[in-house]
Amino acid sequence: MTGVLNVYKEKGYTSHDVVAIIRRETKIKRVGHTGTLDPNATGVLPICIGPATKLSEHITSADKTYVAEVILGIETNTGDISGEVLLQKAVEFDRETITRVVNSFATRSEYMQVPPMFSAIKIGGKKLYELARKGETLDVPARPVTIHAIKILNFAVEKNSFTIEVDCSKGTYIRSLAVDIGRALGCGATMGELERTRSGKFLLSTAKKLDEIKIGRPENFIIPVDELLPYPKIYVHGDELRLALNGNALPTDSPAQSKFWICSDEKIIGLFASDAEKLRPEVML
């Protein structure tokens, strides 16, 4: 059993909880998620199973889409509504100004974003949230992220909030984006509800809840790796098969930078990349 499950993570579960449940249901030890979602967040959480865990980097590098609530007039230590309130200000709720400021975040090719202290980023070998829970704070360096598109879906004047949909690069923290929007508006902000609706090719519309997976059996929902990464296939036999199975390079006349699934008649052996001289193994399955 190898491939990826498109799981819909519900509220109250950590990403590690989901991994543990899938590990128990499949009876396979090699299980891993492809991008943490906070316990209060919901949405798409691709889970790699078996040898497909080696491909997690290829999957996590994809762009993401989120729908998030931005609550104005408040800042917290976590960047979301679950945290301790650090600041409260009166809000002048002007839809035109809010729209202009929100749209400005999509006009930058990159923007330097400071990740929240309550995040899984490691500094000095320790995760930031572990330090934050001890009351420690650090000057976390800003990182470049890209907001490909952002739009306001609705306003809730009575709650001093609005909802945005964001298409962004890997590594973008929507909590930090909400904080930055609030500061640009001059009143502060924090994130309320959050749902990831897309992670690369994985869509909310096809994600399965854990109960659905348990009832329907996980193997019925696993997406094969060659469907996720639809590279051409090369079937090898004889000496080339023996070379491939041992992780050795293969002769090729393919152009450089091309990638291929190298297969026997029975299975996919691995993902190989061409450097114009050889096909060299990138991920062995």
HSE-CB for 256 with a 13 A CA cutoff: 3
Q: Which residues contact 172 (CB under 8 A, 6 or more apart)?
A: 64, 113, 145, 146, 147, 166
The residue among 63, 70, 31, 58 whose CA lies nearest residue 44 is 63
Name residue, tokens 């500061």: 183
Q: Does the active-site annotation cover 38? A: yes
Query: Residue with structure tokens 């609550």?
Result: 71
Catalytic residue among 17, 38, 139, 167: 38
Q: Measured between alpha carbons, how far is 89 from 84 in angstroms, rounded to an integer?
A: 15
Active-site residue set: 38
